[in-house]
Chain A
Amino acid sequence: METRDWLREGLRAVAGGALAVALSVTNFLLLVLFVVALALTPVLGLGLILLPAVTALVRLRTDAARAVAGWHGVTIERPYRPRPAAARPVGWRAYRWIVTDPATWRDLAWLVPGAIVGLVGGFATLLIPVYGVEGIVLLPLWIWLGTGWYGYGVIWPIETVSDGLLSLPQGALFLAIGLAVAPYLRRYDALFNRLLLAPTTNARLRARVTQLSHSRADTVDAQAAELRRIERDLHDGAQARLVSLGMTIGLAEEMLGRDPESARRLLVEAREASSTALVELRHLVRGIHPPVLAERGLDGAVRALALNLRLPTAVESEVTGRLDIPVESAAYFAVAEALSNATVHSGATVAYVTMRRDGDTLRMEVGDDGRGGADPDRGTGLKGIGRRLAAFDGTMTLSSPPGGPTIVTMELPCALSSPRTTLSSGTD
């Protein structure tokens, strides 16, 4: 570590110590408030109003502890269950939501031990460097005030100037040790807080199940709608055209002997109908799984897509080899949708796509220089991207301030399968 980094880390940790001391004091107050609010539940139902309010404060405090832990490299997730849709800010439903959430009681159990550890650890973080600073400033102070009244470090009391001079290196040493140790002390504090403030395995699994059932329901819905669309397109398109094609050819067959000229015209018509049917099938296939995606993978397919767009689009991709087919397809359609939004709505003059893999995560970014102000709640496009990616535990974030630029960032967990192997057995 560079000296400056080390110094910055140390100073930040010392500041964190001061903050921990200040915040820990509030724990006792919060505990009192919580107990009072709980005790007042039978009295005119006051608790129904007070408890949700106090809980909000407690969670503000624990969220602060989680955030502080985050600064010191310890991630603590929020463990709370989502508020039921029907619950108002206060009242019976909110009350029930709070008291049935085990995380509430774990927070409560944390308040006192958390405060004690916070105070002890915080003071320890502060005191060593402060004592060091004292040693550094002591010499002038001592010269000014006279001898024999005070000591420092191993010299006690200080009687001569040479004794006094010794406080300087000692102080510097204490300061250095204090700054070096501070980040570790903060980290232990954060690790202790994690014991009670992080979700239990149970709560984590519960949250995961909720999320999975949501994304599964969305996926199933989307798939059913997609199949329905394909069925309708085939039924109204290619199928109907093939029926009419058969009829035309049959008619031509009938006419062949009697009126060869009409038969020839009918055959020309039949050939044209077969071309139209092929065009429709091609569009349909592109919507299901673009052939270029099957042939070239994500990288090639996005490049081919960019070439087809009206909007000049630069593609920068470090994705080599083939991804799993479903992941590849989800990623492609997400990028395609984002680009189509940029083309249609943004008024942009240029767009770009970047794609790269970080370990097992595929990161994609689609940006344009348009007018911004995109809102996922207005159109279905952006929401659709989110849903498509959620089926694979992927995420989408949108940054689109009014005036632009719009940047869609997408992340998708992926595993790279061996290069150039596909399961598809389609033919061309």
Chain B
Amino acid sequence: MRVVIAEDHALLRDGLTRLLEAFEFRVVAAVDNGPALLPALLDHKPDVAVVDVRLPPTFTDEGLQAAIAVREAVPGQPVLVLSQHVEPLYARELLGDRSGGVGYLLKDRVSDVAQFIDAVRQVARGGTVMDPEVVARLLDRSRPLDVLTAREREVLGEMAAGRSNAAIAGRLFVTEKAVSKHINNIFTKLGLPPSEDDNRRVLAVLAYLNA
């Protein structure tokens, strides 16, 4: 799989490159600033991009802006955004185009190599991976989504974190069949029309972020 990396710290950039190449990704471009990112993404159209939110020259959110811009130009372009902090606000903006292939993770998660690589692959496949911290903060708010039962909210949280039905079943100690029943209930209660399952998952997560 072909990857574009955007990270301004040389140490982290090399580390990421090494890490990804160890798992049979091919890093086709590794940029260290905001202005170079969008052209690199448009040129290479990689299978997945791993992008730091804060990049030179302004050190604000040009990574995020570039991710949103590239997905406007190339709908569904998979992008995994990394940051030292996560904000539900940014997650909502990333998912704003209502298509999958989006990841938003704390940089710390890189240290759990297996999970990180799994997340990159999921995003490349068009899945949605939200950092557990985003999910935890949304759960902590306990705002509306009142129509959902506690269990369904839990399942939705796991879905937002990008887990498959099998993984959710494992974590919640229920059968996979029960999980898919919960998920169908969630889709019905949130009024999501039957369609391709992946897209419905994204929409459900988006509903979750907007609650």
Contact = CB atoms under 8 A, between A and B. Distances in A.
Interface of A: 271, 274-275, 278-279, 282, 285-286, 291-292, 294-296, 300, 303-304, 307-310, 312, 420-422, 424-428
A206 B60 CA distance: 43
Which residue, B108, B111, B112, B141, has most C-beta atoms of chain A within 10 A?
B108
A295 to B, nearest CB: 4
A291 B54 contact: yes
A275 B8 CA distance: 21
B59 interface: yes
B111 A271 contact: yes
B33 to A, nearest CB: 11
Given A294-B60, A308-B141, A282 B84 contact: yes
Contact of A307 (B55, B60, B84, B88): B88
B141 A309 contact: yes
A410 B39 CA distance: 44
B85 A286 contact: yes
A271 B53 contact: no
Contacts of A294: 59-60
A422 B60 contact: yes
Interface of B: 8-9, 52-55, 58-61, 63, 83-85, 87-90, 92, 106, 108, 111-112, 137, 140-143
Contacts of B54: 291, 295, 426-428
B140 to A, nearest CB: 7
Contacts of B92: 307
A291 B53 CA distance: 11
A427 B63 CA distance: 12
Nearest to B83: A428
Nearest to A272: B111
A304 B88 contact: yes
28 contacts: A271-B112, A274-B108, A274-B111, A275-B111, A278-B106, A279-B108, A285-B84, A285-B85, A291-B54, A292-B87, A294-B59, A294-B60, A296-B60, A300-B89, A304-B89, A304-B90, A308-B87, A308-B88, A310-B141, A420-B58, A421-B58, A424-B59, A425-B59, A428-B52, A428-B54, A428-B59, A428-B83, A428-B85
Contacts, number: 73
A230 to B, nearest CB: 17
Nearest to B64: A295
A296 B59 contact: no
A241 to B, nearest CB: 13
Given A308-B137, A424-B59, A428-B63, 17 more contacts: A274-B108, A275-B108, A275-B111, A279-B108, A282-B84, A282-B85, A285-B84, A291-B85, A294-B60, A307-B87, A309-B141, A312-B143, A420-B58, A420-B60, A425-B59, A428-B53, A428-B83
B166 to A, nearest CB: 24
Chain A CB within 10 Å — which of B89, B137, B140 has the most? B89
Chain A interface mostly: helix
Given A291-B54, A309-B141, A310-B141, A426 B59 contact: yes
Contacts of A421: 58
A27 to B, nearest CB: 62
Given A275-B111, A310-B140, A422-B60, A292 B89 contact: yes
Contacts of B84: 282, 285, 291, 428
A394 to B, nearest CB: 25
Contacts of B63: 428
Nearest to B85: A291
Nearest to B9: A427
Contacts of B83: 291, 428
B164 to A, nearest CB: 24
Given A285-B85, A312-B143, A427-B8, A295 B60 contact: yes
Contacts of A309: 141
A307 B55 CA distance: 24
Nearest to A271: B111
A295 B87 CA distance: 11
A295 B141 contact: no
B140 A278 contact: no
A100 B53 CA distance: 62
Contacts of A425: 59
Contacts of B112: 271
B160 to A, nearest CB: 14
Contacts of A308: 87-88, 137, 141
Contacts of B90: 292, 304
A422 B61 contact: no
